[in-house]
Structure 1
Amino acid sequence: MASHRDLLVVDVRNQDELREGYIEGSTLIPLWDIVKGQQNIPRDRPVLLICAVGGRSLALGKLMVQNGWPEIYNLKGGIEAWKEAGLPLKY
């Protein structure tokens, strides 16, 4: 995987879901804003997609790879798995 410095962490949840916590340094870009083309994600950086449990981010990642993004990753289990692992969240 890419170096931590280059990795763009994109949280595809909705704004109201951030109450459950978010990963420091992540960028909130709701899924539908991306799908509708209202937000652009650069193709020249590796991207880690995050959602609540990993389903939305996995589906989006597959779509992005099909559309030419060369380096897409999905946080398996999403924010819930992150919490269960005891990793830090911001609120």
Structure 2
Amino acid sequence: GYDAVVALGVVLRGGTPHFEYVCQGVTQGLTQVAVDTGVPVGFGVLTVDTEQQALDRAGLPGSTEDKGHEAVTAAVATATVLR
């Protein structure tokens, strides 16, 4: 088994209402995985309006944030508490 998992991805808003459905489905699905398995799931899925917003949050050189690192840190911290 795994002590924790991390989901990384990007959902980019388009010109249709699918963005909201996809974001809701991803969130519900990952929550269900955590509930069903008891394994912490780090949520590193960016939901953005523009590609630049994704790049700004991706932890790249010049990025203002690193959401992937934050998701990993949260998953590891939760797994440590649950041990």
Q: Above 0.5 in TM-score?
A: no
Q: Which has the higher strand share?
A: 2
Question: Which structure has the bigger radius of gyration?
Answer: 2
Q: Which has the higher helix share?
A: 2
Q: TM-score if structure 1 supplies the norm length?
A: 0.35
